[in-house]
Amino acid sequence: MSVAAIILAAGKGTRMRSARAKVLHEIAGEPMIARVIRSVRALAPDPLVVVVGHQAAEVEAAVAASDATSSCRFALQEPQRGTGDSARCGLSEIAPTFNGEVLITYGDMPSISPATLRDFVESHRQSGAKLSFISIRLADPAAYGRVIRDSAGRVISIREARDASPAERAIGEINTGVYLVEASLLRSALANLKPNNAQKEYYLTDIVADAVSRGEKVAAWIAHDPAEFAGINSREELASMEKQTRETINRKLMDAGVTLIDPATAYISEQAAIAPDCVIGPNVQILGKCKIGAGVKMDGTAWLSNVTVGARSHLKLGVRAEDCTIGEDCDIGPFAHLRAGTELLGHNRIGNFVETKKARLGHGSKASHLSYLGDATIGDDTNVGCGVITVNYDGYEKHHTTIGDRCMVGCDTQLVAPVKVGDDVYVASGTTILREVPNGALAMSHHPQREKLGWVANWRRRHNDTRAVNGEHQAEIKSK
Ligand code: UD1
Ligand code: CA
């Protein structure tokens, strides 16, 4: 049986008090819509339709960015006239000939797990129902839609709290908003919706009573873990889900053999893969699709996004790295900035106040202090001295610097790109490299050093500074 999916995400989310659409707010470093899509993908739906409305373009862009490997379809709901109207918009993106099952869920319910969705689909198929939805029992059913059953316990409808009688409002079983419906039934039930309710909206919930009135079998699948169905409606709910989500992620990592020195300040994305025996210090953010090899140590205060770190590497205090690869046995920081396209092949050392961008360092090469290496290819076993700078930008374009194997690039060297330095080259400190240096050469561009003897004493006298200069007398004699 084939499954299509519709994710309702057109609402504004008024209570967020935000200029941004609600589904773009992030949980564990990801827009909540991206998390929902990942869970729904577990059912391999075809198509997967996202109904957008409020900030449609931004939501579409966020979905595209998070789901690059496979594509979603988008349906525009404008204006937003209720969940039923939204589902109808979504259905318009599903071929009229599609005769499988349609899953419907919300973009603002980001904790629903793939396993729960699979169990739900399985139970729907076994029950023989044409329409199933997920319900939960709550001690405080608040404003949720109540599940109304007949005396035999069969579901007959869902009643919104606003439209419910006091007796109905006392019911603790509520609708989570996740449905699985046979396509043909969904088409006709949605076509029948009328906005006859307190909010004058098209309620998706009304498809339940409609299906029952047609004599179709309807099932409510009672889920055990209400936390999975928590929706986000406010900043407070966002923060509380953020905390719960992080705790869940961190617990899984610790169970898998990762040490988190202070789990309360470990901010790790669900998509991160962290090998056993890593030690993650306090205040570390590991975002996106990071891959951290076995035995990596992070001392603390690091921000990593889409970074691969090889086994046994050591990230000292204050590393920021993005879209880059750090090989095995590297030593990074303290206070290092590895920008996009940095590639360290292994056994590298990047020390304090070094910035790299689109820089490839071969095995064992080092830049230990105060450097900028941008648009550079550096060979194996080369030492980049303190304060070396690749001069890569002419105001219009970026240019490439190539440095060979086993070089010693002296302190305070500038390499004016495009430029190439061969293998086994020594560059004297303070050199400005302007043209290609052949293999094995020493390159230097020193100004000859001069001394003006006695100069300091004169200078001080002119400023009425009475301090003596050590050895002044001798210097004056020599200068005569
Ligand atoms: C809905 C259900 C309620 C259920 C609750 C669970 C209805 C009528 N009620 O209520 O039974 O207990 O969810 O959370 O369905 N949306 C659109 N377009 C619209 C309106 C909403 O796309 O015109 C989207 C929203 O972006 C959101 C989702 O649908 O993701 C749910 O909408 P919301 O207004 O939060 O529904 P509730 O009133 O909470
Ligand atoms: Ca809601």
Ligand located closest to 50 CA: 1
If asked whether residues 213 and 256 sit together in one domain, one would say no
Residues 328 and 260 in one domain: yes
Q: Does the Cβ of 228 fall within 6 Å of ligand 1?
A: no
C-beta separation of 174 from 158 below 8 A: no
Max Cα–Cα distance, the chain, nearest Å: 118
Number of structural domains in the chain: 3
Centre of ligand 2 from the C-alpha of residue 233, in Å: 6
Domain boundary among 204, 229, 254: 229
C-alpha to C-alpha distance for 268 and 264, rounded to whole angstroms: 11
* pLDDT band with cut points at 50, 70 and 90 for residue 254: very high
CB 283 within 8 A of CB 301: yes
Which structural domain, as residue segments, surrounds residue 477? 452-480
Q: What confidence tens digit (pLDDT) does each residue in 164-220 have?
A: 999 999 999 999 999 999 999 999 999 999 999 988 999 999 999 999 999 999 999
**pLDDT, tens digit, for every residue of 421-475?**
999 999 999 999 999 999 999 999 988 899 999 999 999 999 999 999 987 655 5
The single residue listed with the structure tokens 């010693």 is: 408
Give pLDDT, residue 82: 96
User: Do residue 211 and residue 265 come from a single domain?
Assistant: no
* Same domain, residue pair 271 and 223: no
What letter represents residue 270's amino acid? E
Say whether both 198 and 64 belong to one domain: yes
> Which residue out of 83, 168, 197, 238 has the highest number of ligand 1 atoms within 8 Å of its CB and is therefore the one to mutate?
83
Do 187 and 289 sit in the same domain of this protein?
Answer: no
Q: Is 80 in the pocket of ligand 1 (CB under 6 A)?
A: yes
Instruction: Average the pLDDT over 123-135 and give the result.
Output: 97
In this prediction, residue 12 carries a pLDDT of 85
Same domain flag for 112 and 81: yes
Q: Count of alpha carbons within 13 Å of 330, Cβ hemisphere only?
A: 32
173-182 vs 101-106, strand pairing mode: antiparallel
Average pLDDT over residues 284-297: 97
Give the model confidence (pLDDT) of 351-393 as tens digits: 999 999 999 999 999 999 999 999 999 999 999 999 999 999 9
- Is the CB–ligand 1 distance for residue 132 below 6 Å? no
Ligand 1 pocket, residue 204 CB under 6 Å: yes
pLDDT at 69 > cutoff 80:
no
Strand partners, 337: 320, 355
Which one of 197, 229, 261 terminates a domain? 229
pTM reported for the whole predicted model: 0.88
The chain-wide mean pLDDT, for the chain, equals 95
In whole angstroms, what is the distance from residue 173 CA to residue 147 CA?
A: 6
Are 239 and 191 in the same domain?
A: no
pLDDT attached to residue 65:
87
354 and 480: one domain?
A: no
Q: Per-residue pLDDT for 480 more than 70?
A: no
Q: Is the CB of 205 under 6 A from ligand 1?
A: yes
Residues 301 and 343 in one domain: yes
Q: What is the pLDDT of residue 473?
A: 57
Whether 176 and 218 map to the same domain: the answer is yes
Atom of ligand 1 nearest to the CA of 109: 30
Where a domain ends, among 185, 210, 229? 229
3-class SS string, the chain: CCEEEEEEECCCCHHHCCCCCHHHCEECCEEHHHHHHHHHHCCCCCCEEEEEECEHHHHHHHHHHHCCCCCCEEEECCCCCCHHHHHHHHHCCCCCCCCCEEEEEECCCCCCCHHHHHHHHHHHHHHCCCEEEEEEECCCCCCCCEEEECCCCCEEEEECHHHCCHHHHCCCEEEEEEEEEEHHHHHHHHHCCCCCCCCCCCCCCHHHHHHHHCCCCEEEEECCCHHHHCCCCCHHHHHHHHHHHHHHHHHHHHHCCCEECCHHHEEECCCCEECCCCEECCCEEEECCCEECCCCEECCCEEEEEEEECCCCEECCCEEEEEEEECCCCEECCCEEECCCCEECCCCEEEEEEEEEEEEECCCCEEEEEEEEEEEEECCCCEECCCCEEECECCCCECCEEECCCCEECCCCEEECCEEECCCCEECCCCEECCCECCCCEECCCCCCCCCCCHHHHHHHHCCCCCCCCCHHHHHHHHC
Ligand closest to Cα of 109 equals 1
Res 101: pLDDT: 98
Q: Is 347 a catalytic residue?
A: no
Q: Is there an atom of ligand 1 within 6 Å of 174 CB?
A: yes
Closest-CA residue, ligand 1 atom 26, reads: 11
Question: Distance (Å, rounded) from C-alpha 431 to C-alpha 442?
Answer: 11
For position 472, what pLDDT does the model report?
Answer: 63
pLDDT, position 68 = 65
The pLDDT of residue 382 is 98
Asked if residue 334 has a cis previous peptide bond (ω within 30° of 0), the answer is yes
- The active-site residue, picked from 25, 363, 369, 473, is 369
**Cβ neighbours of residue 222 closer than 8 Å, sequence gap 6 or more:** 134, 135, 136, 137, 173
On the question of pLDDT at 417 being above 90, the answer is: yes
Q: Residue 28 is part of a domain; what is its CATH number?
A: 3.90.550.10
User: Which pLDDT belongs to residue 218?
Assistant: 98
Confidence label for 478 from pLDDT (cuts 50, 70 and 90): low
Residues 223 and 96 both lie in one domain: yes
Task: Calculate helix-pair angle for 206-213, 183-191, nearest 10 degrees.
Answer: 110
